């Protein structure tokens, strides 16, 4: 077409332009438009796919994150629960151990029948009381209590009645003394009372008289009316001795003198020799 223009064949060149070049340009333009539209559609599709991929990835990320949080929470809850259970079990075991220790200490230091202090605990308290009395120049008293005719009660009515009598005697002896004093069962029908801070034998006499009157009160055991009586010997620190063995032997000997000489009204009221 350029050659036709150069040859001044403009008419032919114009016809060629109208019939061939312009249609070709239009075709090219349409193809270019189609390509542009295809590119735009592909771009939009790619954007949509990218958005879908992003949403999917975000959903998966959130889902995995949430699952991780839930799993971590479950692990933490399970761990805390196990820790609480272990702690509770440990506390229960410690409580049981302490109860066992307390029971063992109680068994080692107390009479199982009456609940009174046993010989071991009584001697320990007597030693402490003697040291205290020595340090502060005070006195203490011992009353040795032996039940009268207890063997006859056991033989005639049975050991269950004898045990009931011993338990009742323990209660009555405890009711006759102060909280600072001690009642112990040495064994069998023998009891001993430790009186701290006494002024003299008159204080012991008053307590012994009260014990005698309290024990003499008639009581029913398994439907049997039984009278309880006891022989009581005394010793006082430091008049009768300065150590526990001497004091106990003195009180024991005094009790046997009372038991062997019982009979008069005065001796039953004043049970000392």
CATH code assigned at 148: 3.30.70.270
At 265 the pLDDT is: 33
Structurally, how many domains does the chain consist of? 2
Claim to verify: residue 82 and residue 153 sit in the same structural domain: no
**Burial of 17 per CB tally in 10 Å (0-12, 13-18, 19+):** middle
Q: Could you tell me the residue range of the domain that residue 169 belongs to?
A: 119-269
List alpha helices for the chain, DSSP H: 2-6, 10-16, 22-109, 119-136, 150-157, 159-175, 201-215, 244-260, 265-269
Claim to verify: residue 81 and residue 145 sit in the same structural domain: no
Claim to verify: residue 138 and residue 246 sit in the same structural domain: yes
| Domain limit, last residue, from 31, 66, 88 | 88
At 195 the pLDDT is: 96
Which residues of the chain carry a pLDDT beneath 50? 4-5, 263-273
Half-sphere exposure of residue 249: CA atoms within 13 angstroms, side-chain side: 6
Claim to verify: residue 84 and residue 125 sit in the same structural domain: no
Whole-structure pTM value: 0.62
At 235 the pLDDT is: 96
102 domain-assigned? no
174 domain-assigned? yes
| Domain limit, last residue, from 67, 88, 109 | 88
What stretch of H or E contains 112? Answer: none
Claim to verify: residue 234 and residue 166 sit in the same structural domain: yes
110 domain-assigned? no
Measured distance CA(5)–CA(132) in Å, rounded: 145
Claim to verify: residue 145 and residue 48 sit in the same structural domain: no
Hey, which residues are catalytic here?
189
9 domain-assigned? yes
247 domain-assigned? yes
């Amino acid at each position: 077409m350029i050659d036709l223009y150069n040859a001044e064949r403009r008419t032919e060149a114009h016809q060629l332009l109208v019939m061939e070049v312009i249609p070709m340009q239009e075709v090219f333009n349409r193809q270019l438009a189609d390509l542009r539209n295809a590119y735009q559609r592909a771009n939009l599709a790619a954007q949509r796919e990218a958005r879908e991929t992003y949403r999917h990835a975000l959903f998966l990320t959130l889902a995995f994150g949430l699952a991780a949080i839930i799993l971590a929470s479950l692990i933490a809850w399970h761990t805390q629960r196990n820790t609480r259970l272990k702690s509770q079990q440990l506390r229960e075991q410690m409580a049981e151990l302490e109860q066992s220790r307390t029971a063992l200490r109680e068994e080692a230091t107390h009479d199982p029948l009456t609940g009174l202090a046993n010989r071991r605990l009584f001697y320990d308290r007597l030693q402490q009381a003697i040291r205290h009395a020595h340090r502060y120049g005070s006195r203490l008293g011992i009353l040795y209590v032996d039940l009268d005719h207890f063997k006859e009660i056991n033989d005639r009515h049975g050991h269950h009645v004898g045990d009931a009598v011993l338990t009742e005697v323990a209660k009555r002896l405890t009711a006759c003394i102060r909280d600072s004093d001690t009642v112990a069962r040495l064994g069998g029908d023998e009891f001993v009372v430790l009186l701290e801070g006494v002024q003299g034998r008159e204080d012991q006499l008053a307590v012994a008289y009260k014990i005698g009157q309290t024990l003499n009160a008639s009581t029913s055991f398994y439907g049997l009316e039984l009278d309880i009586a006891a022989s009581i010997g005394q010793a006082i620190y430091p008049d009768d001795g300065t150590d526990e063995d001497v004091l106990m032997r003195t009180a024991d000997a005094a009790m046997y003198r009372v038991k062997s000489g019982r009979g008069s009204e005065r001796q039953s009221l004043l049970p000392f020799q």
